[in-house]
Structure 1
Amino acid sequence: MTKINAVPDTSRYSISGLTVAADLEIPGAVALTDVWQTADVTIASGALPDRLDGATGGPNWQMTKTAFLIVVPGIIRMLVSNGADIRYALIGDTAIEDAVAFLSGTGFGILLHQRERILLHASAVRVGNRAVLFCGASGAGKSTLAGALVTAGYDLVSDDFCAISIDAKGVSHVAPDGRQLKLWRNAIDRLALEERRRAPVRSMLEKFYVEPRAATACPLQLGAVYMLREQRATLAPGIARPSIVDGTLMVRGNAYRPAIVRRMAQQKLYFDASASICQHAGIYTLTRPMAFHDLPVTIDWLEAHWRDIGLLTRAA
């Protein structure tokens, strides 16, 4: 992957540990003040091809070894290249916040896949000197739980997705992101975060960016991964450690855009990473009630568990 030289007419952001030069505002990302700083990634509008030579694809996407062309019908077209560049073209009278949501989400996620980062659909907070991840499907409460923990005094590491790299010893590290949380209106109200509410994530949605009280800016070793599950008659509440096989499958199943993982033939990459995370960090299930008034109980469970596994001192 090549570095992109700085250009003065763009803004600079930090996203998933990368410096990004963009020709539009990216609400929720960490703004950098040095507009001349060399960028790892550029995001800019421009002409896009209708087809990629030699590509495979589906109804709204095409892919080669170095490029990924995708259309979000009625909103945006994006060309992601070499893990370093995102070109886009708006469709019709698309609201800019709708376009940015897909650029910083799906588009940047594809770019991180091109860089062969392990990318999990997760939110994360800092516990001691480690990153703790919360995985789950949409609606599992990842951002809400992270928001409650941030309110309780923990630094935000990332929201929505987490980029992980694994060193030569097999130890996983989470790239700092520190983006604003993305929370629905009812979560903002119940967590008393109205004064930190910022721009809407998308037009016509009651979901907003929320400024965290504190966010980490340094890479952190991965401390634990929790798979969120709703308490039901067949699922007892609490924290449990699955087998290595089940834990590995859980991590793989929470890849960000798993269809892209398959299309890019990265299954082995994710299998090896999942096994490494199981061995060096720890994968757990967190089965909990979903009501807002039960969040303090869930945080008590987590803090007790963090003391048990050494992420928090007994005095913390």
Structure 2
Amino acid sequence: MTFLARLAPTVVPIEPAVERFDYVVFGLRVRSEIPLHALTQTAIAAPDVEIRIGSIPKHPGVEPFGLYVGENGAVLNIADVGRFLIANGTEIVVDANDSTSPRNVELFLLGSAFAAILHYRHLLPLHANAIELDGRAIAFMGHSGAGKSTLAAWFADRGFRILSDDVCVVNFDPAGIAYASAGIPRLRLWKDALNVKGISEDGLLRSFDGQDKFDLPIPSNADKNPIRIDALYVLGRTDHTQICPIIEPVLGTDAVEAISVNTYRGAYIPMIGNSFTHIKKCIALAKCVDVLTFNRSWNHASFEDDASYLLKTALARISNI
């Protein structure tokens, strides 16, 4: 008689399922193990970018703050927040400090870490706010504190759609026409700017712990198509002798330079290694849209008149296309 031995089944431990959240931002489909409160959840198919939680070894080249680019991608270290590994243009691994708040992690995840993703993917992120006027986009470029968000908020109060706040991602169609994709659906405004608008900061989330800057939610545009860009305005200040705002064209290499210096996290570009691609995109953008300066007095008393003048001239330009 032959006896058959029945082997005990191999037990494979089942790891608990990790909850994932799906979003669309900057024209990219994102799947994240971290809930991103600034974004609106959206059903997607295969993601372009995945965000997961993991352990990232310390690297002396980026302690306590900096970016290091190695074989496995870029490691971004933010003091008192954590480390982010950006693997090419498809993945971000987050290793947050135990003591940091989720708000600060999200701030740098959607800001500096995502900027590296955009550069890896050869997109052109501008340090700019973009709004839609009569089916075209205009964007306001400038350094932090130049009034980009305050100006965008003024347009929003008059019914114009905000496409992006602080970071405007530009892409081109096969014909070389430039388009702006929807960004993060919020406006970051300082407390005094909220007060000018008659909005209390009560109930609003701080943009960063310890700052008097707050996130004002706006309707999500993730489901909207990119908008063709008509003009880029470089925000500046007039001297004390000039009361009225001045709008002037920026031409040739000066226009290319204005786009280049207002590229979001432009310091990453030489490290990631696409400087040639970046300057080609700056040249292409300068050729297909108008670049202008918008200099004003930065006086709250004249802000309404200055913004109205910008709106009037921008609509006139678009109507003549």
Aligned-partner residue type, residue 88 of structure 2: N
Deviates more, 1:233-242 or 1:133-142: 233-242
Aligned-partner residue type, residue 229 of structure 2: L
Aligned-partner residue type, residue 116 of structure 2: I
- What is aligned with 1:77? 83
Q: Check whether the contact 2:191–2:213 (CA below 8 A) recurs between aligned residues.
A: yes
Correspondence list, 1:158-307, <5 A: 158-194=164-200, 198-212=204-218, 215=221, 217-233=224-240, 237-307=245-315
Distance 1:233 1:221 in 2: 36
Shift of 1:132: 0.9
Shift of 1:195: 8.3
Query: Which 5+ residue runs of structure 1 have no aligned equivalent?
Result: 1-6
| Change in CA separation of 1:261 and 1:303 when aligned onto 2, cut-off 3 Å | same
- What is aligned with 1:3? none
- What is aligned with 2:23? 13
SS at match of 1:310: helix
Shift of 1:209: 1.1
- What is aligned with 1:96? 102
SS at match of 1:31: coil
**Root-mean-square deviation (Å):** 2.5
TM-score by structure 2 length? 0.85
SS at match of 2:318: coil
- What is aligned with 1:86? 92
Deviates more, 1:156-165 or 1:212-221: 212-221
Q: Check whether the contact 2:68–2:76 (CA below 8 A) recurs between aligned residues.
A: yes
Q: Check whether the contact 2:133–2:315 (CA below 8 A) recurs between aligned residues.
A: no
**Residue 53 of structure 2 is aligned with which of 45, 67, 71?**
45
- What is aligned with 2:32? 22
Aligned-partner residue type, residue 143 of structure 2: A
SS at match of 2:107: helix
| Change in CA separation of 1:167 and 1:27 when aligned onto 2, cut-off 3 Å | same
SS at match of 2:204: strand
Shift of 1:215: 4.6
Aligned residues: 301
Shift of 1:149: 1.0
| Change in CA separation of 1:301 and 1:40 when aligned onto 2, cut-off 3 Å | same
**Residue 67 of structure 1 is aligned with which of 70, 73, 88?**
73
Distance 1:51 1:208 in 2: 33
SS at match of 2:155: helix
Q: Check whether the contact 2:122–2:278 (CA below 8 A) recurs between aligned residues.
A: no
- What is aligned with 2:7? none
Distance 2:49 2:22 in 1: 10
**Larger-gyration structure (1/2):** 2
1:137 aligned onto 2:143: yes
